[in-house]
Amino acid sequence: WTFYLLYIIQYQTVRYDILPLSTISRNRLNTVKRKILVLDLDETLIHSHHDGVLRPTVRPGTPPDFILKVVIDKHPVRFFVHKRPHVDFFLEVVSQWYELVVFTASMEIYGSAVADKLDNNKGFLKRRYYRQHCTLDSGSYIKDLSVVHDDLSSIVILDNSPGAYRSHPGKTRPDFRAV
């Protein structure tokens, strides 16, 4: 007896209609101050791994959405970056409602390059904070939202790491899980 196991993967393009905001909604957003949505990068908006390291969250053989080449401590490193499903649509839609801010515990040379790719010259990820804006506490990087805005009532953070925002537990939403 011989058995063959075949994997059939069907891909179907998902299309979303991006409806423009109504005139009333647009006018209201222009008169009230927008809330700030602070977004983490790694494991929230993207998954990445570097040369020789494969993350268990990425199916082997899955091609990256883009590859970054950065120099860290005088060593060239290639990062293979996988965007979360539908992240481009998510960013485009929520940028109509919130001021989007990137806050990552990653080094700026890497975080800036990832944010540039996600922004794709659309200008909705202008404000960015990196590892140097975090506080190191017991070996963990803590994100202090007061560097983003002094009125914490106008901020919500979307981050997969509870430790990163432990000084602001009421401001957080757990990340969306990969599909």
Q: Give the residue numbers annotated as catalytic, written as ranges.
A: 40, 42
d(Cα 138, Cα 143) in Å, to the nearest integer? 14
- Cα Rg, the chain, nearest whole Å: 19
Nearest alpha-carbon partner for 157 in 90, 99, 109: 99
Contact 116, 102 (CB under 8 A): no
Which residue spans within the chain are E strands per DSSP?
36-39, 46-50, 66-72, 75-83, 99-103, 127-129, 134-137, 140-143, 155-158, 172-173
Contact 157, 145 (CB under 8 A): yes
Residue whose tokens read 């599909």: 179
Tokens of 43: 């494991």
